[in-house]
Amino acid sequence: MKYSIQPQILFCVFITYLASCTTEKSEISQSLENLLPRNDELAGWTLDGDPEVATGEDLYLLINGGAEIYHEYGFKRVVFQRYTHEIAGDLNVEIYEMDSPQAAYGIYTFKTGDEGKSIKFGNAGWLESYFLNYWKGNFLVTIIGMTPESDMADFISEMGIIIDLKISGQTKKPEIISYLPDENLPENGITYLKGSLALYNNYFFDTKNIFDFSDGVIGQYQEYSFFIFRYKSEKKQRTQYEIAKSSLQQNSQFSGFVDSDSLFGLRDPNGKQLKIKSFKNFIMIFLRKSRNQDDQIFQQIEARINQAK
């Protein structure tokens, strides 16, 4: 199951901070505020207070328990604004500027969950009950209905369209995404990784950062999951492969260790089979209940990597 951060956790806002903060607004932060819908663009909605902008470590003051993952992907700044409506209640709008389109795509894939539906905002959007996430250029847009019991979907979509039209910029997904098998890959089954925290929240291998990859991707299919970790060099990959092999072999949570040339296998605490393979500057991991088709999928991904070189 794909991991999803609930908005009650990631978007726990310190109201006292928002009321008292007097953040100095630079020209850059001011341009970020210009992406927010204005009163004259919204029928029936009004801004509730002034927008708040946070950069760098200030994000920890706005988000309780969730700032680390944004920084792992590459956080630059965020603007926060609440809107109020007599009938619909309140909406929170958060626009995160990341340091690249790949970073924005990554945090988008991390935050969206299994439930919900695709919605055509930005480069990709996902609407889940009373909150929306979409990414475009270097930006992640999150809109949250603060009265979950009401039907907020139309109001959330209205906000999303206005912001979408204000964002420009070229967008490109990380190349590593294209290495995953296309067949039976769910629409929202991809998580792009930039560090160990995102990996830990999807699958727990070890308390230590035993893979230490440059970037990676997880494809979560109905019958299996596939992990691809990329390294800056084959030497770095071989070092981490040996570290991971030694750590997992000694980890009592795993069993049935079998080792062969550039490939080892074991069984996880849930009885699923893991095959971990070294290939060029990549580590690939196949996770499933049985061993069917694992060699075929490894070969398919290796062929895609070779074609990209």
pLDDT tens figures, 71-126: 999 999 999 999 998 887 899 999 999 999 999 999 999 999 888 899 888 899 99
Mean pLDDT of 23-35: 62
Question: Do 7-166 and 175-308 have matching folds?
Answer: yes
Contact 11, 117 (CB under 8 A): no
Q: Which amino acid is at 119?
A: I
Answer for the pair 111, 4: CB distance below 8 angstroms, yes or no.
yes
Mean pLDDT rounded to a whole number for the chain:
87
Radius of gyration of the chain (CA): 21
Confidence of residue 31 (pLDDT cuts 50, 70, 90): confident
Vertex 52 angle, CA 191 and 167, to 5°: 55
Report percent pLDDT > 90 for the chain: 63
Mean pLDDT computed over 123-142: 92
Q: Which CATH superfamily is domain 7-166 in?
A: TM1622-like (3.40.1000.20)
pLDDT of residue 27: 42
Distance between CA atoms of 127 and 188, rounded to whole angstroms? 11
pLDDT tens digit sequence for 43-83: 888 999 999 999 999 999 888 778 999 999 999 999 999 99
List pLDDT tens digits, range 216-226. 999 999 899 99
Give pLDDT, residue 292: 64
- Distance of alpha carbon 52 from alpha carbon 222, whole angstroms: 41
Instruction: Check residue 12 and give its pLDDT.
Output: 39
What is the predicted pLDDT for the residue at 302? 92
Least confident of 33-37, 66-70, 171-175, 253-257: 171-175
pLDDT bracket for residue 154 (50, 70, 90): confident
Instruction: Write down the pLDDT at residue 1.
Output: 52
- Write the DSSP string, the chain: ------HHHHT---HHHHHH--PPP-HHHHHHHTTSPPGGGSTTEEE-S--EEEEGGGHHHH-SS-HHHHHHH-EEEEEEEEEEETTTEEEEEEEEEESSHHHHHHHHHHH--SSSEEE-SSSEEEEETTEEEEEETTEEEEEEES-TTS--HHHHHHHHHHHHHH--------GGGGGS--TT--TT-EEEESSHHHHHTT----SS-SS--SEEEEEE-SSEEEEEEE-SSHHHHHHHHHHHHHHHHH-TT-EEEEEETTEEEEE-TTS-EEEEEEETTEEEEEEESS-TTHHHHHHHHHHHHHHH-
Question: Thinking of the domain 175-308, which architecture would CATH place it in?
Answer: 3-Layer(aba) Sandwich (3.40)
Amino acid at 196: S
**Taking a C-beta distance cutoff of 8 angstroms, is the pair 267, 254 a contact?**
yes
In the prediction, which pLDDT does 42 show? Answer: 83
Task: Return d(Cα 202, Cα 169) in angstroms, integer.
Answer: 30
Domain regions of the chain by residue span? 7-166, 175-308
